[in-house]
């Protein structure tokens, strides 16, 4: 399994600016009408909460948060948990040492895709000593578990390990994604021993 959880919380804060509009003076002050118009600014905050180990924290409610502006606490008018669509790159090691593990990796990837947001965009970069795209250039992204699983399974596991080259390749595709949030997931069992690029 791929223990990846991506979750976002959204707040909307209403900042009210009250502007009284006083009508012309009337003869009877007690009968005077008073109209109040309010301009409201919506402030949306997206928040990801993690524990000290870096794991996502779920089950939080509106009462677990406080929002301050200029030292003054602001009311949270709307609180939502959102599974925000993201662009995800699956970078999969196809070096010789992964030969016996590739079936398990493919199954886990399919499970991950099926449990993800249907609006997520995903792509695959397979690598050994060379990095290659798992999907056709005409269709670099997919949200289909079968399509992405086949993209991983189609390449044999042979050769050496060029992780850094694969990450560079994946970053170029990631920037073309249409989602604001972007994630790369690297699946490998060893260190780099064949890249043209270095960690620096």
| pLDDT value of position 7 | 44
- Residue 105, pLDDT above cutoff 90: yes
| pLDDT value of position 52 | 92
Tell me the pLDDT of the chain averaged across its residues. Answer: 85
Segment 151-163 mean pLDDT: 95
What domains are defined for the chain? 8-82 (no CATH), 86-187 (3.40.50.410)
Cα separations in angstroms, 187 against 1, 94, 161, 195: 11, 9, 12, 16
- Residue 27, pLDDT above cutoff 90: no
Of the pLDDT bands very low, low, confident and very high (cuts 50, 70, 90), residue 71 is: very high
Tally the C-alpha atoms within 13 A of residue 181's C-alpha that lie toward its C-beta. Answer: 14
Of the pLDDT bands very low, low, confident and very high (cuts 50, 70, 90), residue 25 is: low
pLDDT in tens, 30-61: 556 667 666 667 787 878 888 998 888 888 99
Residue identified by tokens 């196809």 is 94
| pLDDT value of position 59 | 86
- Residue 78, pLDDT above cutoff 80: yes
Better pLDDT: 163 or 78: 163
- Residue 4, pLDDT above cutoff 50: no
Cα–Cα dist 48/6, whole Å: 8
pTM over the 0.75 mark: no
Alpha helices in the chain (DSSP H): 102-114, 145-153, 163-174
């Amino acid at each position: 399994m791929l223990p990846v959880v991506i979750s976002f919380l959204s707040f909307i804060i209403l900042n009210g600016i009250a502007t009284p509009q006083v009508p012309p003076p009337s003869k009877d002050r007690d009968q005077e009408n008073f109209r109040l118009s309010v301009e409201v600014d919506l402030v949306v905050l997206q928040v990801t909460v993690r524990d000290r180990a870096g794991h996502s924290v779920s089950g939080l409610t509106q009462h677990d948060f406080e929002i301050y502006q200029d030292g003054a606490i602001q009311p949270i008018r709307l609180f939502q948990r959102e599974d925000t669509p993201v662009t995800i790159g699956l970078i999969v090691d196809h070096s010789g040492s992964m030969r016996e593990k590739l079936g398990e990796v493919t199954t886990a990837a399919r499970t991950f895709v099926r449990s993800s947001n249907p609006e997520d965009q995903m792509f695959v970069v397979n690598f050994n000593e060379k990095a290659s795209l798992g999907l056709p250039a005409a269709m670099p992204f997919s949200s289909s578990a079968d399509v992405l699983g086949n993209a991983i399974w189609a390449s044999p596991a042979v050769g050496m390990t060029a992780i850094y080259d694969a990450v560079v390749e994946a970053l170029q595709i990631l920037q073309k994604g249409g989602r604001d949030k972007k994630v790369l997931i690297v699946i490998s069992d060893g260190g780099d021993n064949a890249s043209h690029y270095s960690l620096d």
